[in-house]
Amino acid sequence: MSAEVIAGLALLGVGVGVLGTLVGAGGGFLLTPVLLIVYPNESAQTLTSISLAAVCANSTSGTVAYLRQRRVDIRSGIVFGIATLPGAVGGALLVGYVPRRAFDAIMAVVLASVAIWLSIYRRWSFHERRGGAPRRLVDASGTEWRYSVRVGQGIVFSLGVGFLSSFLGIGGGIFHVPILVTALGFPTHIATATSHFVLAMMSGAGVATHIAQGAYTIGHGLRRSIVLAVGLAVGAQIGARLSIRTSSVAIERLLVAGLAIAALRLAVTV
């Protein structure tokens, strides 16, 4: 790769890492569509493996930052993370059999659907339902968070999230954060932090599967994965710091905007 390409990928990684960590989505929801547009002749498997490796770096780096802030619900995160693993492996295996044009169309529909859902979910009352395992967290700033988590529902949701996230190479935060908030009772800031914790486990399983398949050869994504991963890791630290000063509503609006733009741009290329 030329110096210009390396610099461009590194800057892309930083930008995606900042926004991905800020909204708890890991960055893959933007990175995969960008890679699909920039590399129109690459297979879906190659590009999703690159994105998933970068997401793994981003989510791991973001998790470290969020653990310092004490905003990760570790008990819930471990259970949900383990539940994602079968789907994460299955998604990484299946993507190799999907034609590129069909994959682009699937990605555009998924991104647009999630953006619409995030725009209207506040009109519903899922997040007001009672019941579940009580949780109490006190973060590093001294803020106390009290809420209840419907763990059983979370396990079921996590099985599907693991598959979709690994299959699409987007990490899964765009699915997991809305589910944690609207269906499982998490405060938004705890949801974004816990989502990163789950993403680190889930994307790691997907990356391990791609490694076993030989996806990370020098000519098929290893160098691009490394450059993007470094940029995402740096961006994750910045995003985690910014999250402290950003309201829940602003975080959700950023996520909707990013999804809508990526879906529209990708749909044009289908």
- Domains of the chain, by residue range, sit at 3-269
The C-alpha atoms of residue 114 and residue 95 are separated, in whole angstroms, by 20
**Per DSSP, what are the bridge partners of residue 147?**
135
The rounded distance, in Å, linking the Cα atoms of 170 and 176 is 11
d(CA 237, CA 231): 10
The C-alpha angle 149, 143, 157, rounded to 5 degrees, equals: 20
Q: Give φ, ψ of 144 to 5 degrees.
A: -100, 135
- Which of the pair, 126 or 175, is modelled with greater confidence? 175
Phi and psi of 2, rounded to 5°? -75, 165
Per residue in 169-220, pLDDT (tens digit) is 887 777 788 788 888 889 888 998 898 899 889 989 998 998 888 877 655 5
pTM: 0.78
193/222 Cα distance (integer angstroms): 28
Residue 154 has what pLDDT? 92
pLDDT at 126 over 70: no
